[in-house]
Structure 1
């Protein structure tokens, strides 16, 4: 295993049948949870942009963004050999798995990753275990709910804390692609340049 891939997606709905990804971020860490790289991008959905009141992403912001199909092989290669981590993994896994599958890149291993929400419920005092609340309890800086990169960076710090507090449950890394894939991430785009 190369380490972990902490992921977060912002979407236009609550289920893949009713929504699409409009922003995705991936933070790679080593096996100890130390951040080794980050990447994020807005994504132009095939349907309309909704949920702006939650994620603040407008149709104008995604007009020139790549479609998910455009970046699917790149996302798949950034996950390859890594265990996927997310805060509320079932939500992110459903969208990533559905959209990667639609692009011809099935990755059922995403759902077998590590959920920091579940780990936090077993480790922290609560009373709620939303990402901002977990970060507040542990003194982790958190600068922007529902912004994919801010959420992944905060989740990566939370995950590092949690894996030092208790062992990580067994999870399967996403396997390597059988065809060569681009292994380098593109330059990170700042929100202002999108």
Structure 2
């Protein structure tokens, strides 16, 4: 690792957690050297062209996003800020960087063995620089994308959409959104358990 090594720290706020359907609302890039000294920073709001999603989390209302550039308008500047700073972080690339042998990628034992070698080198580099690796216990780790809750498939045909002012009809499907007092799996199970009266 050379003394002129630079990094880009990136944060992105989105309309949700599903990369296939959710869109970017804001993006920020902070460039730092290997000691963490900030050399440059840039951020912008982005007009997603759709509902901004959970405003209570990110605070980005349609009013705040009005007039912001679209993703295509900011992409070239974003790419320029990352040019030469964010190498491919796939296991094979990182293993090659540290000189760790990886013969059969996507073989579970081979990948885990290579990752252990990468981890060993990372620990040594962090120790040499006098900094701890940002490690967390498994129970503290948060998945990037939460697993989709199970769906309840009842024995009833869906009667169609709910009419405005109408009542729920047996067989209608409902979606529970927003914060709940129960974990997602428990609240989904409670909402989809049929109740016979």
Q: TM-score, normalised by structure 2?
A: 0.44
Normalized per residue, which structure has more helix? 1
Structure with the larger RCO, 1 or 2 (CA within 8 Å, 6+ apart): 1
Greater gyration radius? 2
Q: TM-score, normalised by structure 1?
A: 0.45
